[in-house]
């Protein structure tokens, strides 16, 4: 298992780095087309966290490190002056990586698309819904850095499924438009990296003839 993990990681980006220091201050994500797994050092941001047997990885600079846990992680994908929340599942936890590595390969397997061009990476969901846009930095990597998180108790994050139900089973597109066009306040959509559409039994029952 360890050998497979090492081989899987050898084709990661040369920009990833391993650190022995505690990660403090602003968080960051690097969107990587060569990474086979989502990996993050931000233990306090994990949901549904569980410990796993250590998995050994090798970075591009030949340094090795271990992942010792996994869980869900929600990242903020920038999109102009706003952002979209994207839930990453089965994210590996390692305190030795420098920032969250978002695997484009894993997103692609879930039905998402990532278009690289003109110094930008545009991510779209399985239904072609625009998730966000990441700009290329001067180091030619697609990286997002966040300031210290500010808690906004007024804003509530909902999945499309929950928003659909709370808004009296309105159409999916209408629910999205309400958020995108700022027609409702205090709400933000959360997308899942599984890419799986939801099924509403109530709607099917109501439309039955």
**Which pLDDT band, with edges at 50, 70 and 90, does 44 fall under?**
very high
Mean pLDDT, the chain, integer: 76
| pLDDT one-digit tens code per residue, 100-133 | 999 999 999 999 999 999 999 999 988 888 899 9
Q: How distant, in Å, are the alpha carbons of 37, 71, 133, 174, 203 from that of 121? A: 19, 25, 6, 26, 36
Single pTM value for the model:
0.67
Residue 172 in any domain: the answer is no
Residue 183 in any domain: the answer is no
Residue 109 in any domain: the answer is yes
The total number of structural domains in the chain stands at 1
125, 156 contact by CB (below 8 A): no
Residue 32 in any domain: the answer is yes
Residue 103 in any domain: the answer is yes
Mean pLDDT in residue range 130-150 = 84
pLDDT recorded at residue 206: 63
Residue 118 in any domain: the answer is yes
Residue 166 in any domain: the answer is no
Half-sphere exposure of 12 (CA within 13 A, CB side): 29
pLDDT recorded at residue 88: 94
Which residue is associated with the tokens 């931000």? 42
pLDDT recorded at residue 172: 65
pLDDT recorded at residue 140: 87
Percent of the chain with pLDDT over 90: 35
Residue 177 in any domain: the answer is no
Boundaries of domain holding 121: 2-148
pLDDT recorded at residue 9: 38
């Amino acid at each position: 298992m360890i050998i497979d993990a090492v081989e899987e990681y050898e084709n990661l980006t040369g920009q990833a780095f391993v650190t022995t220091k505690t990660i403090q201050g602003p968080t960051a994500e690097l969107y990587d087309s060569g990474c086979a797994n989502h990996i993050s050092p931000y233990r306090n941001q994990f949901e549904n966290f569980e410990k796993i047997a250590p998995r050994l990885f090798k970075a591009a600079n030949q340094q090795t490190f271990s992942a010792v846990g996994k869980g869900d992680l929600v990242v903020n994908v920038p999109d102009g002056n706003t952002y979209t929340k994207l839930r990453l599942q089965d994210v590996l936890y390692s305190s030795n990586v420098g920032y969250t590595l978002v695997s484009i390969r894993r997103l692609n397997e879930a039905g998402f698309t990532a278009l690289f061009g003109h110094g930008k990476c545009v991510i779209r969901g399985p239904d072609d819904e625009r998730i966000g846009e990441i700009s290329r930095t001067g180091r030619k990597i697609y990286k997002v850095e966040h300031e210290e998180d500010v808690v906004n108790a007024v804003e509530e994050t909902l999945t499309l499924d929950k928003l659909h139900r709370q808004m009296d089973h309105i159409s999916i597109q209408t629910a999205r438009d309400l958020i995108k066009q700022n027609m409702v306040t205090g709400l933000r959509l959360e997308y899942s990296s599984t890419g799986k559409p939801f099924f509403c039994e109530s709607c099917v029952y109501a439309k039955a003839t």
